[in-house]
Homo-oligomer: A and B are copies of this chain.
Amino acid sequence: MEKFFNRRKKNRKYIERAQNVRDLIKKTTEKNGGHLASNLGVVELSIALHEVFDSSRDRIVFDVSHQCYAHKILTDRRDRFSTLRQTGGISGFTSPRESPHDVFFCGHAGTALSSASGIAVARDQLHQDYHVIAVLGDASLTNGLTFEALNNIGKTRLIVVLNDNGYAIARNVGFIAHYLNGIMRSNIYNRIKGFFEYGLRKLPLGHSFIHLLSRVKRMIKAFLLPSSLFECYGLRYIGPIDGHNVMDLVDALNFCKREKRSVFLHIKTKKGYGDPDAENSPEKAHGIAFDRQFSNGYSQIFGQTLCDLAEKNPRIVAITAAMARGTGLGLFQQKFPERFFDVGIAEGHAITFAAGLAKAGLLPVCAIYSTFLQRAFDNIFHDIALQNLPIIIAIDRAGLCPQDGPTHHGLFDIAFLRSIPNLIIMQPKDGDELRKMLEAAIHFHGPCCIRYPRNARGPMDGHCAAIELGRSEIIQRGKDICLIALGGMVFVAVAVAKKLPHRSITVINARFAKPLDEVMFAACARDHKKIYILEDHVQMGGFGSAVAEFFVQKHIAVDLHIFAWPNCFIPHASNDEDLEKMFHLTADDIATSIASDLGEEK
């Protein structure tokens, strides 16, 4: 009886603590943006994890890790939590630099099982003794890496917690979701199962009898349920249990802690739990910052243009990897549900699937964020470019994602895509040009990437000549120096030119990172004493590097300077401007740098 009252008391304490954490998350994300709904969903889980495990010793690996806010508050970052995602503040993802309680710095889904199993194996090899817990969302099960890891978990001891909220970022897709829902719905099974899981353990039964009973259990389960996927991989499956009841979670996690083999604990949560707004529109509340300045975004222009093109061309189909809303494909999905494919967090499949679609006569347009496209590098190389298939890859968020930081900045795509044969790479300076590039890409009859950041700097009126393959556009003509800019940096180039009124400056909108407008660039080198490249990409292997390579190969003597991001992982910050200032890439900085370069020369 005393035990009962103790539990009730404890439970009240947990509920209080959860409310407290939840309030802080809500208050902070309202101000700073961030992943509200997914974090509200795991408050109880985070409390339970820290109740059962010691994160200074045990290793809790969060998949994607955007659901780490409660974990941060519960460990050593409550005081700094108001600086979340701000310049110099704490990261929106786990970060070992920030705290010993964070294991990995990560932001891409599907890696946790793989990296956690590495930690577990190393622990065993080094004869150490701690627990390794991988916390996955159900969306991670749409990603192939999770299955590569599942297949290799083998004999090590790992605790896998599946935080199943039935959503990836958009509503979850594919058979895994269907399968998990099947488990959910079966209440009879849950009751029978409860008896087998907990009840039987207390009876004094022999091992072989337990073994037989577990077969009987499996039989009953198979009768009631789709068979258990995770047991195919040799994990002990436990669940589903209520992910908003800390007491139950603590019990289950303690059970997992004692278990000698790897366990798969399936918990059911509600995205946005505790906030009626977030609960009702969890996709919208997934990333609050996503919606700011949305009307100024390229994604919307992309989505609208694709709808217009699709009206006229029935061969156009659209593919996204769990980013329908983020990439602006929401409208397309509504208008052409049969021609829209959300494949889950499976960027590799998105591209190879598109290869199949193109092979059989359709015209696929894949919209994927720059940083996530990294996961489909080989698919672009091997399944698209090698077959020279007509596929358009819309590379969204190719530029800064300031509040998310190094796992999300899209500053590397030209470098990794440029050497792939047959591939065309374009970048529009503004929304109008994006529209024209999309229309043009359809007629290139080969693989074509269009990269663009979240926000357009433009529009630039009066400038948008028709798109021709490998041809740049002259924005203004001058005689002294030439600024060749890619994408939105054209606006910066124009601003720089205005800041140097005593110089006669040519500004070129490069449009193509591949193929380069070699004729124009050679003429620029001939007619100007200096060329400056402006690009929204890392310097190493980027657009400027391609231009340098071209000049050197053609033995064109030229004084070239590249303004680009340095080759390091750019940190997170409150906004683009802070980072541009930090790395001296504002129009003011560039103008000053050019002036000094020209001044020294005199």
**Interface on A for B, CB 8 Å cutoff?**
59, 61, 96, 103-108, 111, 114-123, 125-126, 128, 141-154, 173-176, 178-179, 215-216, 218-219, 221-223, 226-229, 231-234, 317, 338-339, 341, 343-344, 346, 348-349, 352-362, 364, 372, 374-375, 377-379, 381-383, 385-387, 406-407, 412, 415-416, 418-422, 538-542, 544-546, 548-549, 551-553, 555, 557-562, 567-569
Q: List residues of chain B with CB within 8 A of the CB of A126.
A: 360-362
Give which listed residue, B114, B317, B539, contacts A356 with CB less than 8 A. B114
Q: List residues of chain B with CB within 8 A of the CB of A227.
A: 218, 222, 227-229, 231-232
**CB-based contact A343/B152 at 8 Å:** yes
**CB-based contact B151/A176 at 8 Å:** yes
**Shortest distance in angstroms between A341's beta carbon and chain B's nearest beta carbon?**
8
Q: List residues of chain B with CB within 8 A of the CB of A108.
A: 378, 382
Max chain B C-beta neighbours (<10 A), residue from A141, A150, A349, A569: A349
Question: In the complex, A555 Cα to B143 Cα: how many Å?
Answer: 46
Q: A148-B349, A568-B421 are known contacts. Are A122 and B361 too (CB-CB below 8 A)? A: yes
Question: In the complex, A307 Cα to B554 Cα: how many Å?
Answer: 47
- Sample of 30 A–B contacts (CB below 8 Å): A61-B356, A96-B387, A105-B387, A106-B383, A107-B382, A115-B352, A115-B355, A115-B359, A118-B359, A146-B147, A148-B348, A149-B349, A149-B352, A151-B176, A151-B346, A215-B223, A216-B223, A222-B223, A227-B228, A229-B229, A374-B377, A377-B378, A381-B412, A386-B406, A412-B419, A412-B420, A415-B416, A541-B549, A548-B549, A552-B552
Give which listed residue, B116, B232, B418, B422, contacts A541 with CB less than 8 A. B418
**CB-based contact B356/A122 at 8 Å:** yes
Q: List residues of chain B with CB within 8 A of the CB of A555.
A: 559, 561
A118-B360, A221-B222 known; 11 new pairs, CB 8 Å cut-off, are: A114-B353, A118-B353, A119-B357, A121-B341, A121-B357, A126-B360, A144-B147, A152-B346, A222-B222, A421-B568, A548-B553
**Shortest distance in angstroms between A545's beta carbon and chain B's nearest beta carbon?**
5
**Shortest distance in angstroms between A158's beta carbon and chain B's nearest beta carbon?**
10
Q: Tell me the nearest residue of chain B to A235, going by C-beta.
A: B175
Q: Tell me the nearest residue of chain B to A531, going by C-beta.
A: B552
**CB-based contact A377/B379 at 8 Å:** no
Question: In the complex, A544 Cα to B552 Cα: how many Å?
Answer: 10
Number of identical monomers bound together in the oligomeric complex: 2
**Shortest distance in angstroms between A360's beta carbon and chain B's nearest beta carbon?**
3
Question: In the complex, A353 Cα to B61 Cα: how many Å?
Answer: 13
**CB-based contact B151/A174 at 8 Å:** yes
Q: List residues of chain B with CB within 8 A of the CB of A141.
A: 151
Q: List residues of chain B with CB within 8 A of the CB of A107.
A: 382
**CB-based contact A349/B106 at 8 Å:** no
**CB-based contact B148/A144 at 8 Å:** yes
Question: In the complex, A371 Cα to B567 Cα: how many Å?
Answer: 24
Q: List residues of chain B with CB within 8 A of the CB of A149.
A: 349, 352-353
**CB-based contact A383/B104 at 8 Å:** yes
**CB-based contact B387/A382 at 8 Å:** no
Give which listed residue, B374, B545, B551, contacts A382 with CB less than 8 A. B374
Q: A223-B219, A386-B105 are known contacts. Are A344 and B415 too (CB-CB below 8 A)? A: no
**Shortest distance in angstroms between A547's beta carbon and chain B's nearest beta carbon?**
8
Give which listed residue, B175, B338, B348, contacts A154 with CB less than 8 A. B175
**Shortest distance in angstroms between A339's beta carbon and chain B's nearest beta carbon?**
7
Q: A104-B387, A223-B218 are known contacts. Are A346 and B418 too (CB-CB below 8 A)? A: no
Question: In the complex, A362 Cα to B59 Cα: how many Å?
Answer: 16
Q: List residues of chain B with CB within 8 A of the CB of A382.
A: 106-108, 111, 374, 407
Q: Tell me the nearest residue of chain B to A223, going by C-beta.
A: B219
Question: In the complex, A121 Cα to B317 Cα: how many Å?
Answer: 11
Q: Tell me the nearest residue of chain B to A108, going by C-beta.
A: B382
Question: In the complex, A360 Cα to B59 Cα: how many Å?
Answer: 10
**CB-based contact B152/A173 at 8 Å:** yes
Question: In the complex, A360 Cα to B120 Cα: how many Å?
Answer: 8
Give which listed residue, B105, B226, B540, contacts A232 with CB less than 8 A. B226
Question: In the complex, A105 Cα to B421 Cα: how many Å?
Answer: 15
Q: Tell me the nearest residue of chain B to A221, going by C-beta.
A: B222
**CB-based contact B567/A349 at 8 Å:** no
Q: List residues of chain B with CB within 8 A of the CB of A387.
A: 96, 104-105
**CB-based contact A349/B153 at 8 Å:** no
**Shortest distance in angstroms between A539's beta carbon and chain B's nearest beta carbon?**
8
Question: In the complex, A422 Cα to B412 Cα: how many Å?
Answer: 14
Q: A227-B231, A542-B419 are known contacts. Are A349 and B218 too (CB-CB below 8 A)? A: no
Q: List residues of chain B with CB within 8 A of the CB of A559.
A: 555
Question: In the complex, A173 Cα to B339 Cα: how many Å?
Answer: 38
**CB-based contact B378/A378 at 8 Å:** no
Give which listed residue, B175, B233, B234, B349, contacts A234 with CB less than 8 A. B175
Q: List residues of chain B with CB within 8 A of the CB of A377.
A: 374-375, 377-378, 416
